[in-house]
């Protein structure tokens, strides 16, 4: 195990078997090196001793180089373009959208004009003059109205629909209560509220009247009875919500022949 060596003092001593170089080589073994590295890594990972905090420490932050940011940005742009997203919209699609919007607006305009956009002025322009209605041998519907009458404006679309259905068999007359020309007719038909619808047979005799805001069927059924030349109308005297005829605003008649 050890070799005996002599010295000048003739005292025996032991020479170590292992040399210093062997001892240093021992510390360079893979086993010890691995242990030391593991110990260093364990110390480096304990950057935050508090277990409740989850934010990374300064040692764990990743530094991204500008070149890497540019590469990632270019890759994201390339992937989005390659995924089917074009940079500029297709002109054909824009044209189709514009054409569809135009057609939709046109359809809405026409539908409003044919239904909800009908005004009292439109009805008055298409109305038959009162004198003509009494002499052409057809039954007649006389409406007493005013431009300021809210109920009259609301019922205008319904009146227009019925008129378009029966205009070739029934006369539709519009008399404006603000016109002093119709004072005698106001008294004759007993108009107290508007709109006032008077239903006359082909001889000019009144069969009934409907006053104010009522369901459309009352007006439609009475007109249908006149068109079929029945002896009476189903709704001879019905009154709904109306505007008082005494609130009328009398104005100067510009054209005495006017029926409005």
120 touches 146 (CB < 8 A): no
User: Which pair of structure tokens corresponds to residue 249?
Assistant: 């605003």
Q: Which of 123, 149, 194, 225 is catalytic?
A: 149
DSSP 158-208: HHHHHHHHHTTTSEEEEEETTBGGGHHHHHHTT--EESEEEEE-TTS-EEE
111 touches 157 (CB < 8 A): no
Nearest residue to 171 (alpha-carbon basis) of 213, 216, 227, 230: 227
**152 catalytic, yes or no?**
yes
For the four alpha carbons of 155, 157, 161 and 164, in that order, the dihedral sign comes to positive
The set of residues, in sequence order, having a beta carbon less than 8 Å from that of 247 and lying 6+ positions away, is 148
**45 catalytic, yes or no?**
no
Peptide bond into 195 cis (omega under 30): yes
CA atoms of 125 and 141, how far apart (whole Å): 15
Q: Which of 152, 156, 159, 260 is catalytic?
A: 152
Catalytic residues: 149, 152
């Amino acid at each position: 195990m050890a070799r005996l060596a002599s010295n000048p003092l003739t005292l025996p001593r032991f020479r170590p078997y292992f040399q210093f170089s062997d001892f240093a080589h021992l510390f360079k073994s893979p086993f010890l090196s691995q242990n030391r590295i593991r110990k260093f890594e364990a110390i480096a990972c304990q950057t935050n001793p508090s277990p409740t905090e989850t934010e990374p420490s300064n040692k764990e932050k990743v530094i991204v180089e500008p070149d890497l940011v540019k590469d990632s940005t270019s890759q994201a742009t390339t992937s989005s373009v390659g995924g089917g997203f074009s940079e500029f919209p297709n002109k054909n699609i824009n044209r189709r959208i514009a054409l569809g919007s135009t057609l939709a607006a046109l359809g809405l305009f026409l539908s409003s004009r044919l239904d909800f956009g009908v005004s009292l002025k439109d009805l008055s322009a298409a109305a038959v003059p009162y004198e003509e209605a009494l002499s052409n041998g057809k039954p007649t519907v006389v409406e007493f109205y005013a431009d300021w009458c809210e109920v009259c404006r609301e019922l205008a679309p319904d009146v227009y629909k019925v008129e378009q259905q029966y205009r070739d068999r029934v006369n539709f007359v519009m008399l404006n209560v603000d016109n002093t020309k119709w004072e005698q007719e106001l008294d004759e038909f007993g108009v107290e509220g508007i709109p006032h619808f008077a239903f006359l047979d082909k001889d000019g005799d009144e069969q009934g009247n409907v006053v104010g805001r009522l369901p459309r069927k009352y007006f439609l059924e009475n007109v249908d009875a006149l068109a079929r030349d029945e002896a009476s109308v189903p709704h001879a005297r019905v009154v709904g919500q109306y505007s008082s005829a005494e609130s009328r605003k009398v104005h100067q008649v510009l054209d005495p022949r006017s029926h409005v």
